[in-house]
């Protein structure tokens, strides 16, 4: 992934769609798609919810992070038109749904998999429409999505992919963009990364299990199979690989869902995290990358993984996000200072969450498990306070408790005392 220093909003960036095109599409249909939007929906589920909410849905292409300002301005213009026409506008940029000033994103791994694997945003779109009608009912009706298990792959496909990985360490299937290329992903001098890229199977296509047989063929290497934008990984140190992948899903959510970063570039960031974990270059303090990993968007890590369970850290389905901070420079100094404090605390939630997922497997004794539970509870409290715009001082105290508990777990792991 590109470093945040390359982020630039100094001049407008042209998009693949215009306001007039979007308005024309919305005039003709309650569900409109422009500019090569990647999102897919089950219209039989979404249309009734839109009708009940007097809403329309606009599906848009990914917006590169350098184009955020232009994208925001154009969506705002369409929203103003929708208000004049007296209907609500829901939008999906890439795979990220929005309603009013809120974004709608997955709060569990199964939901994220549906977005990235099948590019399916049906659940978010329906939830957003129901939210406009009855917030409590929308929350009550929403159910978690189970992680999808792949089906056995065609042996000929397994052989073709395996042979390509053996020869070049890289495979790109038909249907994957030509600009997806091998990058020489570096996870350390003793491991090689072999990566295969397949297109999304859509709403109904098969999700083949390539990772299993390929891992058996290359047991000493890191094997990556990317289907759509969903990553399966296998190799030595599987817990570490899983930790790095889940961290990346959380820390770089917008790159996966909204900015449209190419899959091979997403793998750059994951490989970098693997390398950092393997060398021990991690910290429980927020680094610049962790506190603001994508150049200004929220640094709250949406996922915290304890063992095999996914525990939400980033809030509920609706994550209130400040839109286009450049438009709010006239706000009071007190409000600005408060927002800066919240940003800083969000970065600490991200850093401590990452630290917890590293230490959790080492907590084997009862006292260590108690400390892990204390840290988890304190992080959840801080998360909830920030999401609800509660007292940031209370959130800071919760983070202090989490940090103290993690220090205890880390000390036990280092000493190997096995209390």
Question: Per-residue pLDDT tens for 297-335?
Answer: 222 223 222 222 222 223 333 333 333 333 333 344 455
CATH number for the domain spanning 169: value is 3.10.310
Among 54, 52, 46, 40, residue whose Cα is nearest residue 127: 46
Q: Which of 20-29, 154-163, 388-397 has the lowest mean pLDDT?
A: 388-397
Q: Are residues 28 and 120 in the same domain?
A: yes
Q: Are residues 78 and 205 in the same domain?
A: no
Q: Which residues of 360-389 are buried (b: 16+ CB within 10 A; e: fewer)?
A: beebeeeebeebbebbbebbbbbbbbbbee
Is residue 235 left, alpha or beta, with left meaning phi > 0 and alpha meaning psi from -120 to 50? left
pLDDT digits (tens, 9 = 90+) for 78-96: 999 999 999 999 999 999 9
How far apart CA 274 and CA 277 sit, in angstroms, is 5
pLDDT of residue 12: 59
Q: Are residues 16 and 41 in the same domain?
A: yes
> For 224-240, what is the mean pLDDT?
94
What percent of the chain clears pLDDT 90, i.e. is strictly above it?
A: 45
What integer best gives the mean pLDDT of the chain?
79
| Residues 402, 379 contacting (CB under 8 angstroms) | yes
Q: Is the per-residue pLDDT at 4 higher than 80? A: no
In a domain, 293, yes or no: no
Q: What is the number of domains present in the chain? A: 3
In a domain, 198, yes or no: yes
Among 112, 102, 191, residue whose Cα is nearest residue 144: 112
Q: Which of 122-126, 144-148, 294-298, 387-391 has the lowest mean pLDDT?
A: 294-298
Q: Is the per-residue pLDDT at 409 higher than 80? A: no
Q: Is the per-residue pLDDT at 161 higher than 90? A: yes
Domain around 352: 298-315+329-419
pLDDT of residue 415: 57
């Amino acid at each position: 992934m590109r470093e945040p220093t390359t982020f630039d909003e100094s001049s407008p960036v042209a998009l693949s769609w215009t306001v007039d095109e979007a308005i024309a599409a919305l005039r003709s249909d309650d569900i409109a798609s422009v500019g090569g939007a990647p999102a897919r929906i089950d219209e039989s589920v979404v249309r009734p919810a839109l009708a009940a909410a007097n809403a329309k849905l606009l599906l848009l292409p990914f917006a590169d992070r350098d184009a955020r300002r232009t994208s925001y301005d154009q969506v705002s213009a369409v929203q103003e038109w929708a208000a004049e026409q007296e209907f609500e506008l829901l939008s999906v940029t890439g795979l990220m749904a929005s309603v009013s000033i809120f974004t709608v994103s997955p709060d569990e791994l199964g939901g994220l998999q549906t977005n990235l694997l099948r590019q399916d945003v049906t659940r978010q779109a329906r939830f957003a429409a129901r939210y406009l009608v009855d917030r409590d009912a929308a929350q009550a009706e929403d159910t978690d999505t189970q992680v999808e298990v792949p089906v056995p792959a065609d042996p000929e496909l397994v052989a073709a992919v395996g042979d390509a990985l053996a020869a070049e360490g890289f495979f790109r299937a038909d249907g994957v963009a030509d600009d997806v290329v091998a990058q020489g992903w570096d996870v350390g001098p003793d491991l090689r990364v072999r990566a295969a890229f397949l297109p999304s199977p859509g709403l109904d296509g098969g999700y083949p299990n390539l990772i299993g047989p390929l891992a058996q063929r290359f047991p000493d290497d890191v094997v990556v199979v990317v289907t759509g934008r969903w990553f399966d990984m296998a190799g030595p140190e599987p817990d570490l690989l899983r930790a790095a992948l889940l961290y990346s899903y959380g820390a770089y959510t917008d790159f996966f869902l909204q900015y449209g970063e190419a899959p091979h570039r997403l793998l750059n960031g994951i490989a970098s995290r693997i390398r950092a974990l393997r060398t021990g270059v991690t910290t429980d303090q927020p680094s610049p990358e962790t506190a603001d990993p994508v150049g200004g968007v929220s640094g709250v890590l949406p996922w915290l993984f304890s063992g095999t369970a996914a525990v939400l850290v980033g809030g509920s389905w609706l994550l209130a996000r400040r839109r286009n901070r450049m438009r709010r420079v006239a706000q009071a100094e007190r409000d600005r200072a408060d927002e800066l404090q919240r940003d800083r605390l969000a970065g600490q939630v991200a850093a401590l969450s990452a630290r917890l997922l590293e230490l959790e497997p080492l907590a084997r004794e009862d006292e260590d498990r108690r400390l892990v539970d204390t840290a988890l509870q304190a992080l959840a409290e801080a998360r909830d306070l920030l999401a609800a715009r509660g007292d940031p001082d209370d959130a800071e105290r919760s983070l202090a408790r989490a940090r103290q508990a993690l220090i205890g777990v880390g000390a036990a792991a280092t000493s190997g005392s096995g209390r």
